[in-house]
């Protein structure tokens, strides 16, 4: 039962153009959504997040959009740069058993930005 899905395993875009990465979720209990970036041989690094009470959050070149009715979020990167080439994980956050906040990750999208 995949509660967070990233249906595109890979995406290639030209440098300077927009990259759009998509994510769908099923659990209505998720109240925060995050994007992490992962380079080979490194751990995931936090990129940007959005609360479920918002529909947009922007940080420099990165914008995350949330459509709660569709249970869909997307990450826009404008303009895309070769250094953005990495695996991008969508994650959703909810309070789990006890008081732990647990992240549920999608399977990732490999973004390649072509020079």
Partner 1 sequence: ETGVTQSPTHLIKTRGQQVTLRCSSQSGHNTVSWYQQALGQGPQFIFQYYREEENGRGNFPPRFSGLQFPNYSSELNVNALELDDSALYLCASSFGTLNTGELFFGEGSRLTVL
Residues contributing to the site for partner 1 (CB under 8 A): 4, 6, 32, 34, 36, 41-46, 49, 51, 89, 91, 93, 95-108
Residue 15 beta carbon to partner 1: minimum distance, rounded to whole angstroms: 27
Phi, psi torsion values for 25, nearest 5 degrees? -135, 160
User: Which is nearer to partner 1, 71 or 79 (by Cβ)?
Assistant: 71
Q: CA angle at residue 46 from 83 to 78, to 5 degrees?
A: 45
Closest separation in Å from C-beta 3 to partner 1 = 11
Inter-residue contact 103 to 89 (CB < 8 Å)? no
Cβ atoms within 10 Å of 11's Cβ, excluding its own: 16
Q: Of the two residues 31 and 114, which places its CB atom closer to partner 1 in the complex?
A: 31
């Amino acid at each position: 039962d995949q509660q967070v899905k990233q249906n595109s395993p890979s995406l290639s875009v030209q440098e300077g153009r927009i990259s759009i990465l998509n994510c769908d979720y099923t659990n209505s209990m998720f109240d925060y959504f995050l994007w992490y970036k992962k380079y080979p041989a490194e751990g995931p690094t936090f990129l940007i997040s959005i609360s479920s009470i918002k529909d947009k959050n922007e940080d420099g070149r990165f914008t995350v959009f949330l459509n709660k009715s569709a249970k869909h979020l997307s990450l826009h990167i404008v303009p895309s740069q070769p250094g953005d080439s990495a695996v991008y994980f969508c994650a959703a956050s909810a309070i789990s058993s006890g008081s732990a906040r647990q992240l549920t990750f999608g399977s990732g999208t490999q973004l390649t930005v072509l020079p």
